[in-house]
Amino acid sequence: MATYSIDRTAKQLVLTVQEYSLFAYRAVLNLFSAPRYWPEFLVQSDIIGFGSAPIVIMSGFFTGGVLALQSAATLSEFGAAAVTGRFVSITMIRELGPVLTGIMVAGRNASSMASELGSMVVTEQIDAMRALGVDPMRKLVTPRLFSCITMLLFLTILADAFGILGGAAVTVFMNHQDGTQYFSEAWEHLRYPDIIQGLAKPLFSGFIIASIGCFYGMRTSGGTEGVGRSTIQAVVTASVLIIFVDFLVTQVLLTLLPPL
Amino acid sequence: MSETAAFDQPDPGPSPQGLNQAPPLELPPLGPRPVVAFRNVSIAFDGKPVLQDVSFSVAPAETRILLGPAGVGKSVLLKLVNGLIRPDQGSIQLFGQEIATMPESQLFALRTRSGMVFQEGALFDSLTVRDNVGYQLISEGVRDDEIDTRVHEALRFVELDQTFDLYPVSLSGGMRRRVAIARALIHQPELILYDSPTGGLDPVTSTTIIELVMKERDVYRTPSLLVTHRLQDAFTLCTHRFDKDEGHMVPLPEGVTNPDTTFLMLEEGRLIFDGSLHELLHTDNNFVREFLE
């Protein structure tokens, strides 16, 4: 009985991965053939980009602040409190900016995509769209995917910038250190591999958020309860995948572009 | 009408040369080509059969009413007609083209030739009535002023012109169904599929919806397949006609029924009846009799 259950679960997992791969492949491929729904792309960019900006700015700012608080205490033990700016900027740009932005946007947008598309599935709006001769993959999924990738790039830059500002605020107003020194340290020790690493990660996170959100939304079944289930699955899966893929990308980029 | 009427060929009679003869040449189909033709269609979900060996056809200008209790596969059958669901076995022809194996990209174009009214209307919540009804025209890039004109025309047909700028959330259940009918009709479809258009509505609103179905049948002679479990609606369609001059439905003379309105009935995924109202009322099938009673 237990073997049967494990066997069934494993098969279900493989099937889900296979379905997700085909789903994501079709969503990407749609961009290279007509019809393309550019107005949808702009609408989604507004929802994902401008809509998520406040939470990304706030989380970035306070994360930078916490980093400065925590690091200053430890660094001062070694007489190195002056390098707080360097520590905050590199940590934010290489790691925390992309990951935090990904998780914040996943919580906000993967859930909204899954619940919106899921509701459309259970109320037969997706079937109605197909019956009217419109491909829901092209109309709903592809614009979300590409606007999420594009917007996550800019949101990450925003999170990085406000993280460094948050660190500066703590350094100047709470740790009573020199602001010029903070920014000088933050800027001078930044290298291109750091920036490349920081800007490569949101491309993967954006893809994960939109493709997972839409995938779980489009395969919703079981009425309103099913919509709730899809929403939870989308957020949990997207968040875990963002951290996992972040680990893989970091490993690959550290090999390709070793720190100086 | 037999269960496989669309595929029946005239009996060539016994061969005088005996059995050791080449098979007879395939004869051309009789009468006009059916708009929809199902042949031995079966489908199962999670291993549980939902439809088994279903064969029937819809002729031009014919209205077929699909009866059956809840959960026998009526909506599934309707979604098979325009390829929203694929069958596991059998052949489905829509406008003469085989759709059971047709790629989804080709099906989109074919589906635009038919209209579908979903159970709860399935209107797009985020769009106004204008954008819902004109959805197909907007997708095709039709000019805005032409879309407005045609949406007004379609809304006048369902007598809801005043809802042009409203959102679906502000409409009643019956109004949503009527807007869904307008959306299905705006493209002058060659076939209309109605999935329980009166389900969950009060008797007065149901009659309004049935009158619209009748109007489309009698004014435009559009073939249709209508799913319902309400016998009253089915019988009204058979025993009434839409009077264009008076602008409402009127009963047919006593004993006369609409010859182009016929019945199909499902029981546990199998088609157990295919025929006219007269045949339905005089069938020996126990399940049909129980359903009618």
* Predicted model pTM: 0.86
pLDDT in tens, A93-128: 999 999 999 999 999 999 999 999 999 999 999 999
Domain boundaries, chain A: 34-255
B42, B11 in Cβ contact below 8 A? no
pLDDT in tens, A150-163: 999 999 999 999 99
Q: Which carries the bigger pLDDT value, residue A80 or residue B142? A: B142
- pLDDT number for residue A123: 94
Q: Alpha carbon of A131 to those of B81, B112, B143, B180, B185: distances in Å?
A: 11, 7, 22, 12, 13
* CB nearest B122 (choices: A35, A127, A134): A127
- pLDDT number for residue A257: 83
Interatomic CA distance for residues B215 and B157, integer angstroms: 9
Per DSSP, the three-state class of A84 is: helix
B4 CB-near residues (< 8 Å, 6+ apart): B39, B55, B56
- The whole-number average pLDDT for the span B195-201 is 88
> Rg of chain A's alpha carbons, rounded to an integer?
21
Interatomic CA distance for residues A186 and A135, integer angstroms: 48
For all residues of chain B together, what is the average pLDDT?
87
- Tell me which residues of chain B have a C-beta less than 8 Å from any C-beta of chain A: 79, 82, 84, 104-105, 108-109, 111-112, 114-116, 118-120, 122-125, 135-136, 139, 183
A255 CB-near residues (< 8 Å, 6+ apart): none
Residue A175 has pLDDT above 80, yes or no: yes
Show the tokens assigned to A1.
């009985």
Contact A124 B118 (CB under 8 A): yes
Q: How many independent structural domains does chain B possess?
A: 1
Residue B3 has pLDDT above 90, yes or no: no
- pLDDT number for residue B164: 95
pLDDT in tens, B104-121: 989 999 999 999 999 889
Per DSSP, the three-state class of B81 is: helix
CB proximity A124 to B under 8 Å: yes
Per DSSP, the three-state class of B274 is: strand
Neighbours of B88 (CB within 10 A): 13
- pLDDT number for residue A91: 94
Q: Where do the H-state alpha helices sit in B158-265?
A: 173-185, 203-220, 231-239
Edge-to-edge strand ranges of the sheet holding B63-67: B114-117, B191-195, B224-227, B63-67, B261-267, B270-275
Left if phi > 0, otherwise alpha if psi is -120 to 50, otherwise beta: which for B210? alpha
Q: Where do the H-state alpha helices sit in chain A?
A: 2-29, 38-45, 51-77, 84-91, 97-105, 111-122, 125-131, 136, 142-173, 179-188, 192-218, 223-256
Distance from CA of A226 to the nearest CA of B (A): 18
Asked, for residue B140, whether it belongs to a domain, the answer is: no
Q: Alpha carbon of A162 to those of A56, A109, A155, B7, B27: distances in Å?
A: 9, 21, 10, 72, 78
* CB nearest A131 (choices: B111, B119, B125): B111
Residue A260 pLDDT class (50, 70, 90 cuts)? low
- pLDDT number for residue B203: 87
Cβ-based contacts of A132 with chain B (< 8 Å): 111-112, 135-136, 139, 183
Asked, for residue B187, whether it belongs to a domain, the answer is: no
Asked, for residue B66, whether it belongs to a domain, the answer is: yes
Per DSSP, the three-state class of A229 is: helix
Of A11, A22, A44, A124, which to mutate for an interface test with B (greatest number of B Cβ within 10 Å)?
A: A124
* CB nearest A131 (choices: B82, B104, B105): B82
Of all helices (H) and strands (E), which one includes residue B89?
strand B89-94
Q: What are phi and psi of B261, to 5 degrees?
A: -110, 110
- pLDDT number for residue B1: 37
Residue B46 has pLDDT above 90, yes or no: no
B41: domain CATH number is 3.40.50.300
- Residue ranges making up the domain that contains B256: 30-95+225-293
Where are the extended beta strands (E) located within B230-282? Answer: 240-243, 248-251, 261-267, 270-275
* CB nearest A135 (choices: B108, B115, B122): B108
B177, B160 in Cβ contact below 8 A? no
A165, A97 in Cβ contact below 8 A? no
- Specify burial of residue B159 (Cβ count, 10 A radius: 0-12, 13-18, 19+): middle
DSSP letter for B242, please: E
Q: Which carries the bigger pLDDT value, residue A78 or residue B118? A: B118
Asked, for residue B79, whether it belongs to a domain, the answer is: yes
Interatomic CA distance for residues A125 and A144, integer angstroms: 18
Contact A131 B116 (CB under 8 A): yes
Token pair 């329980």 is found at: B196
Residue B246 has pLDDT above 90, yes or no: no
Picking from A86-90, B134-138, B230-234, which range would have the lowest pLDDT averaged per residue? B230-234
